[in-house]
Amino acid sequence: YGSEDGFAEQADTVINILPTNAEPNVTWISFQFGGVGDVNGDGYDDLFVYRHGFEIWEDPGNGGGEPPPGGGRGDGANQDEPPPDKDPDEPWPEPNATFYPPDFQLFYGSEGGLPLQPDWNGTPELEGRYYYLQGIHHADVNADGYSDVILASTSAPHVQVYHGSEDGISLEPDMTVTFNTQFSYGWTLHAPVNFNGDEYDDIVIDYGQAEGLFDYVQYLYLLPGSELGIPTRPSESYKLVLKELSSDHSPRVVMADINGDGLNDAFIYANMMSQSRERSEFRFQLHFNSGDGIPEEPSWQYKYNADWMSPQLNFADRGDFDNDGYEDVAIPAPGEWVWWDDGTSEYTMGHLVIVNGGGIMDLMRPLTLREGPDLYAAYKAYNFRVNVNPTGLSTLPTRVQLTLDPEGAGVVLEAGLQMGGSYIKEVTDPEGLVTLASDLTDIVHDSDNNTIWVHFRVEFNWSWPHEELCDAKVGTIIDDITTPFIARELFRVENDLELIGSLAASGAIQGDLEEGDWVKGGEEVTVSGPVVVYEGTQDVYPPSGAFQVTLQDNDGSSSSAAHVSGEAVSLVLAVDTATDADENLTLTLTSLPGLATLIEERSFQLGVDADVPTFTNVVPGPDDWHSSSQVLAGVTADDGASAGVRASTLEYSYSIDDGVTWTDWSTNGLEVGADGVTVDGMVLLTIPDGADNYVRWRATDLVGNGPAISSNLRIMVDTINVT
């Protein structure tokens, strides 16, 4: 069983498919198996096993354990040996043998894996004692949500369908389709197939047939699913003409959704060995399913020359291996025994050939733009790849034109394709909307596929007139006759820019800032963080030097620098020298080329405080006399509607000699409030008698304005009694 760590080295479940009473007498047995989806709808896939019928020959009684005579109905051994001498008139004795008929076994999956014994047994109802399955398949042909078991027999040939249900499948087939003729070159059943786009899985049968002396065709029979299942005979048949292939090349068909439209197409592959048997040439052809049927002629052909040899190609499988929306085809190419002149031998390496559906569609499209639809002005040259003969079946043109935005800009590019006279140039571009970066090496002749690849490498300039999706038209020209092809809404050109990433600011004095913080008047502020990208992207950067990155305030001051591709913006600007409670620093782009536009500027709001605090509410008043030498002095430091006062900077000093000398600035005994727009301070001073005493205050605001010093505030003291 698979797990997060892969597969275990030993099997998790070993199932014995033999009857118990036959085990001691059987050394090997032929069987087939297939995963058949969820037959009973319990969410677990189930396993279907078909064990071939077999006989066990018993000892004839002569004690010697003599094997049956050559040509008998045993395991096929010694069939090429002549029978022993005997009287031709004497009949052969009946062999003493036990026949075990073919057996169908169905094992239901569960949380614990597969059971050791089958949950269901069935026996094929066919004439003859041996029965061989061409394949075991599953499909929900009646769209009831349960996987149905589809068995394809090579003996009749015929198809049996067992419908799945909540109770599993019945003992008898619910539907049998028998064909009245043997298919000369074999046949293959394909299921599930989405042939017509409805909710029912379909079944397709293909077989090959020679027509005339040299022609070889492949036929497809359709058994469409419906509410009742499949019909008793094919509803439609389609003839596919095989080009340069015959039954000798063993062509095979796989039904795969190559073009990603939800319908299965007919993909044919064949192997042609070189005369020296040293390498293989694989030939592919593709017939698209339009929903109304599959055309007789191929839509595409391709040859692949391998540098190794395989004797055959086996049945292919399909799946979207690279998850690009187009189914791919996986073809096993086994090795073979090689005998050397000295009598030694070796087995050559086998290969798995992967045919990429997306790659086929690229080959078939007249125009391919792998990097679209969003292209970016002045970013790079984009490759518009033109296949001038996408089917490989027509005459090569002499010229090809590519028209970009034919209903708008109308830029026309052209390549001349004739050997010795090739060129590639701009034909019409009066507004200078593009730059063609191609040269003659971008015209590539592909003789294997009878086509020419032209790579129009186009760089769009900033002046491209709009950003809507644009068409592109390819015109291949033969003798002045143009065959047009239009790719609708193939590309759009983005010339809008945006600033992405967080915006940060830091002051030379304040350090890291947040929105709404205050800075000192004239302080240098660094704004940084965002990068410039094309709109809608995260890491597609416009080229360096295409424009200026500018930081400006709301009074017209600015600083700029040339844009550097992929680098975060970092600009410095000195803020106003006057107080401004609403200073907006705006990051923008200037000197933009052409029609380039910045979709949104980025701003950082600050407050500028250019003023020192003032002092109010002075205590005591200058005209007051105090009768005690203990005088309470106080003040309010006021920073107005700005940053606020730093309380720790409020200090006082006083003089008792009419201002000739002053004490040092001090906070001793000072009671002060918290930081804020206003800060109150109060201190008890000891002042001598007289009118020549003064106190003064100083404070600094939170952004560093100051210190502001108050005027000299008089304190008058008279402690002497009247005499």
Domain-wise residue ranges, the chain: 11-53+101-178, 181-364, 365-494, 496-609, 614-717
- Mean residue pLDDT across the chain: 88
Of 399, 391, 326, 403, nearest to 365 by C-alpha is 391
The pair of structure tokens assigned to 139 is 């499909």
Q: Tell me the percentage of the chain whose pLDDT exceeds 70.
A: 90
Q: Which pLDDT does position 59 carry in this prediction? A: 58
Distance CA 540, CA 375 (A): 10
Q: pLDDT for 374-386, tens place per residue?
A: 999 999 999 999 9
In the structure, what pLDDT confidence band is assigned to residue 155 with cuts at 50, 70 and 90? low
Q: Which pLDDT does position 86 carry in this prediction? A: 60
pLDDT at 260 over 60: yes
Which residues are 369's β-sheet partners? none
Task: Tell me what the mean pLDDT of segment 584-589 comes to.
Answer: 97
Q: Which CATH class is domain 496-609?
A: mainly beta
pLDDT at 248 over 50: yes
**Helices marked H in 139-266:** none
Distance CA 700, CA 363 (A): 77
In the structure, what pLDDT confidence band is assigned to residue 84 with cuts at 50, 70 and 90? low
In the structure, what pLDDT confidence band is assigned to residue 138 with cuts at 50, 70 and 90? very high
User: Using an 8 Å Cβ cutoff, are 173 and 160 in contact?
Assistant: yes
Task: Name which residue leads in pLDDT, 393 or 545.
Answer: 545
At residue 65, what is the residue type? Answer: G
Burial class (CB in 10 A: 0-12, 13-18, 19+), 611: middle
Q: Which pLDDT does position 275 carry in this prediction? A: 62
Q: How far from 398 is each of 401, 406, 477, 480, 694, CA to CA, in Å?
A: 10, 22, 6, 9, 105
User: Using an 8 Å Cβ cutoff, are 494 and 467 in contact?
Assistant: yes
Q: How far from 224 is each of 228, 230, 479, CA to CA, in Å?
A: 10, 6, 47
* Beta strands 382-387 and 351-355, pairing class: unpaired
pLDDT at 78 over 50: no
User: Using an 8 Å Cβ cutoff, are 513 and 484 in contact?
Assistant: no
CB atoms within 10 A of CB 250: 18
Of 457, 295, 308, nearest to 386 by C-alpha is 457
Query: What is the chain's alpha carbon radius of gyration, rounded to the nearest angstrom?
Result: 46
Distance CA 185, CA 200 (A): 29
In the structure, what pLDDT confidence band is assigned to residue 18 with cuts at 50, 70 and 90? confident
Of 211, 213, 286, nearest to 256 by C-alpha is 286
pLDDT at 422 over 70: yes
Q: Which pLDDT does position 488 carry in this prediction? A: 85
Task: Tell me what the mean pLDDT of segment 608-623 comes to.
Answer: 95
User: Using an 8 Å Cβ cutoff, are 527 and 585 in contact?
Assistant: yes
What is the 8-class DSSP label of residue 408?
T
Q: Which pLDDT does position 65 carry in this prediction? A: 45
Distance CA 96, CA 58 (A): 6
Question: At a CB cut-off of 8 Å and minimum separation 6, what does 621 contact?
Answer: none
Q: Which pLDDT does position 64 carry in this prediction? A: 42
What are the strands of the beta sheet with 175-178, ordered from one edge? 133-139, 148-153, 158-162, 175-178
Q: Which pLDDT does position 313 carry in this prediction? A: 87
Distance CA 480, CA 124 (A): 66
Q: pLDDT for 31-77, tens place per residue?
A: 888 877 899 999 999 999 988 878 887 655 544 444 444 443 334 44
Distance CA 407, CA 410 (A): 6
In the structure, what pLDDT confidence band is assigned to residue 190 with cuts at 50, 70 and 90? very high
User: Using an 8 Å Cβ cutoff, are 390 and 368 in contact?
Assistant: no
Question: At a CB cut-off of 8 Å and minimum separation 6, what does 322 contact?
Answer: 328, 356, 358
End-to-end CA distance of the chain: 119
In the structure, what pLDDT confidence band is assigned to residue 179 with cuts at 50, 70 and 90? confident
The pair of structure tokens assigned to 97 is 């043998």
pLDDT at 133 over 90: no
Phi, psi of 632 (to 5 degrees): -90, 120
Q: Which pLDDT does position 666 carry in this prediction? A: 97
Q: Is the peptide bond before 397 cis (omega within 30 degrees of 0)?
A: no
Distance CA 46, CA 711 (A): 99
Question: At a CB cut-off of 8 Å and minimum separation 6, what does 223 contact?
Answer: 159, 177, 202, 203, 204, 205, 230, 231, 234, 235
Task: Name which residue leads in pLDDT, 87 or 137.
Answer: 137
Q: Which pLDDT does position 7 carry in this prediction? A: 87
SS3 call for 361: helix
- Name the CATH code of domain 365-494 (choices 2.60.300, 2.60.40, 2.40.160, 1.10.8): 2.60.40
CB atoms within 10 A of CB 372: 17
Phi, psi of 483 (to 5 degrees): -105, 110
CATH topology of 365-494 equal to that of 614-717?
A: yes
In the structure, what pLDDT confidence band is assigned to residue 126 with cuts at 50, 70 and 90? low
The DSSP-derived string for 228-258 is T-S-SS-SEEEEEEPTT--GGG--EEEEE-T
Distance of alpha carbon 495 from its chain centroid, rounded?
25
Least confident of 198-212, 420-434, 458-472: 198-212
Of 564, 405, 416, nearest to 487 by C-alpha is 405
User: Using an 8 Å Cβ cutoff, are 635 and 655 in contact?
Assistant: no
Q: Which pLDDT does position 406 carry in this prediction? A: 92
Q: Which CATH architecture has domain 614-717?
A: Sandwich (2.60)
In the structure, what pLDDT confidence band is assigned to residue 26 with cuts at 50, 70 and 90? confident
Burial class (CB in 10 A: 0-12, 13-18, 19+), 458: buried
Task: Tell me what the mean pLDDT of segment 462-472 comes to.
Answer: 94
Q: Which pLDDT does position 185 carry in this prediction? A: 59
* Beta strands 713-717 and 625-626, pairing class: parallel
Task: Tell me what the mean pLDDT of segment 483-502 comes to.
Answer: 91
Least confident of 59-68, 201-210, 352-361: 59-68
Task: Tell me what the mean pLDDT of segment 248-253 comes to.
Answer: 81
User: Using an 8 Å Cβ cutoff, are 495 and 594 in contact?
Assistant: yes
Sign of CA dihedral 57, 62, 63, 68: negative
What percent helix, strand, coil does the chain show, rounded to 5?
5, 45, 55
SS3 call for 358: helix
Residue found under tokens 């002549």: 82
* Beta strands 496-500 and 470-478, pairing class: unpaired
Which residues are 626's β-sheet partners? 717
Residue found under tokens 């354990």: 65
The pair of structure tokens assigned to 576 is 């106003």
pLDDT at 392 over 80: no
Task: Name which residue leads in pLDDT, 284 or 99.
Answer: 284
Phi, psi of 321 (to 5 degrees): -70, -30
User: Using an 8 Å Cβ cutoff, are 607 and 643 in contact?
Assistant: yes
Residue found under tokens 């992967």: 354
User: Using an 8 Å Cβ cutoff, are 289 and 222 in contact?
Assistant: no
The pair of structure tokens assigned to 436 is 């063609």
